[in-house]
Homo-oligomer: A and B are copies of this chain.
Amino acid sequence: MQRAICLAKRGHFTTSPNPRVGCVIALNGEIVGEGFHKKAGQGHAEVHALKQAGSKAKGATAYVTLEPCSHFGLTPPCAEALIKAQVSHVIAAMVDPNPKVSGRGLELLAAAGITTQFGLLEQDAIALNPGFIQLMTKKLPYVRCKLAASLDGKTAMASGESQWITSPDARADVQRLRAQSCAVICGAESVIFDDARMNVRWDALGTLKNSYAEADVRQPVRIIIDGKNRLTPDLAIFKTTSKILLIRHAIEKSQTWPHFVEQVTISKAVDSEYVDLSLLLAYLAQQGLNDILIESGAKLAGAFINANLVDELVLYQAPKLIGSDGKSLVSMPTIIKLSEAKILDIRDVRMVGKDIRITAKFSQ
């Protein structure tokens, strides 16, 4: 199963919105076939592994990181393929997170006389697909918020100078975060003032370039929150061809946008200057965008965090001290008691070049 999980990770940057899945087929303690899911519309992990195993699949054990599917999607159901190949045992790390079909794949296999089990390395399997699982169980995307600051939590000088507070290594790491996400959310201000393009630049992916080809780069959908209709088609971001959703209160008809730009109306929140952020996330979930990265300034990030809409914080800290006059990392309404502070649970801390990267989950 460990091997199957390693295989699943090969699809880290390419499968979404589909889940990352790996499969190993073993006969008499020897691996006879293995595979992983690479891209939506292409073969599932089980299909690749069965093809490799050929006739050796008969009587073998299949280890799969996710319960084999029981329904026709873009490809035929994997449970049927396993039955046809006459495997003896199927061990799934986890059952399908979709409550409507959960367990159906294993039932189909059991009905055909195959021994089934699940739960082996379940936590590792869950960690492969936070977005896919959250969409299935909560009908919401998994939301990561990326922030970067000095050790004392400042993002910029009082003067406003801020670009490149972190090192090139940290910025390459952010490219990796983008590359694994279905969509990136930013505010109109970043697009206007930083002239940000918010796309994945293959040449900025560092060592990742060794493990997947430029043609396999899947650009995340770029979502720009522009409640005040401030954006104009001449900005740099609209010169880069990949899907953009312009989130506005009302559609602006006087401007002509490139074909990859779509205006979406979301009503304004009662208590904020932004569109209703929960409505926005519900809309994105409907679009199948299950793994979302927020890359924004202190105000928009603070609004998402304050509304408890963020699952995970990825914080890059540059080894610098800027002092109390610098600009703060997160804007949130004044809290009076320490018990009102947002609480997180640190999951990972490591160096990325000279910077520290902290990954933490919000306690909700």
Chain A residues close to B by CB (< 8 Å): 149-154, 157-159, 161-162, 164-165, 298, 302, 305-306, 313, 315, 317, 319-326, 328-338, 341-346, 349-351, 354, 356, 358, 360
> With A323-B302, A343-B319 given, is the CB distance from A152 to B329 under 8 Å?
yes
> With A157-B336, A338-B162 given, is the CB distance from A324 to B302 under 8 Å?
yes
Chain B residues lying within 8 Å of A324, measured Cβ to Cβ, are 298, 302, 328-332
B346, A157: Cβ atoms closer than 8 Å: no
- Please give me the residue from chain B that is nearest to A156 by CB atom: B338
The smallest beta-carbon distance between A82 and chain B, in angstroms, is 42
The smallest beta-carbon distance between A181 and chain B, in angstroms, is 21
- Please give me the residue from chain B that is nearest to A153 by CB atom: B153
Tell me which of B152, B154, B158, B341 contacts A321 (CB under 8 A). Answer: B341
CA A360 to CA B354, docked complex, whole Å: 11
B338, A161: Cβ atoms closer than 8 Å: yes
A341, B322: Cβ atoms closer than 8 Å: yes
Oligomer copy total: 2
A332, B336: Cβ atoms closer than 8 Å: no
Tell me which of B150, B153, B330, B345 contacts A354 (CB under 8 A). Answer: B345
B345, A319: Cβ atoms closer than 8 Å: yes
Tell me which of B151, B326, B334, B343 contacts A344 (CB under 8 A). Answer: B151
Tell me which of B325, B328, B349, B354 contacts A152 (CB under 8 A). Answer: B328
The smallest beta-carbon distance between A9 and chain B, in angstroms, is 25
**Ranked 9 nearest A-B pairs via Cβ:** A153-B153, A323-B332, A324-B328, A319-B344, A321-B342, A325-B334, A320-B341, A152-B153, A152-B329
- Please give me the residue from chain B that is nearest to A362 by CB atom: B321
Chain B residues lying within 8 Å of A356, measured Cβ to Cβ, are 346, 349, 358
CA A335 to CA B152, docked complex, whole Å: 14
CA A317 to CA B329, docked complex, whole Å: 14
